Amino acid sequence: MIGKLNHVGVATPSIDESVKLYRDVLGATSIGEKFSMPEQGVWVCFVNLPNSQIELIEPFGEGSPIHGFLAKNPSGGQHHICFEVEDIIAARDDMRAKGATVLGTGEPRVGAHGTPVIFVHPKNMGGVLVELMETPKGAH
Ligand code: CO
């Protein structure tokens, strides 16, 4: 059911510092501008790779869900992986039918790519926080 690996989410205390790592040490040549998603409590910046993206996420505001992660992983770390799906509602219902816990209300939210996303609890996913994202229309 899952399609392409869209991105790997990496939490960081500083997107600016992480950009230096990906650009200057790893040699990434295509890195987007940092932007905020206040409703999600994150700053986001995409590092574009030939076959995928790294989504750098930094806390935005006091209530950011990333603070807890950074408390456990002060220097940052791999936070989630995101797979594309054709239909987010069908994917959500399928996850629930199979006993997986969809985080939050379960209503899809608009993700960083402007398409609806859900998150599936790591306890059901082998310890990995999984984001499912509807494939942008016209992307294929
Ligand atoms: Co993501």
Clarify whether 134 is annotated catalytic. no
> Does the pLDDT at position 140 exceed 70?
no
Q: pLDDT, tens digit, for every residue of 64-99?
A: 999 999 999 999 999 999 999 999 999 999 999 999
- What pLDDT does residue 89 have? 97
Ligand 1 centroid distance, CA of 97 (Å):
23
Beta strands in 38-129 (DSSP E): 42-48, 53-59, 77-85, 109-110, 116-120
CA of 51 to the centre of ligand 1 (A): 16
Average pLDDT over residues 117-126: 97
Q: What angle do CA 34, 104, 37 make, to 5 degrees?
A: 15
The pLDDT of residue 139 is: 59
Q: For residue 59, is pLDDT > 80?
A: yes
Instruction: Determine the pLDDT at residue 2.
Output: 92
CB burial of 8-47 (b: ≥16 within 10 Å; e: otherwise) equals bbbbbeebeebbeebeeeeeeeebeeeeeeeebbbbbbbb
Predicted confidence band at 123 (pLDDT cuts at 50, 70, 90)? very high
How high is the mean pLDDT of the chain? Answer: 95
| pLDDT for residue 136 | 87
Q: Which of 55, 58, 84, 131 is catalytic?
A: 131
pLDDT tens digits for 8-36? 999 999 999 999 999 999 999 999 999 99
Q: Whole-model pTM?
A: 0.94
Classified by CATH at the fold level, domain 5-134 comes out as 2,3-Dihydroxybiphenyl 1,2-Dioxygenase; domain 1 (3.10.180)
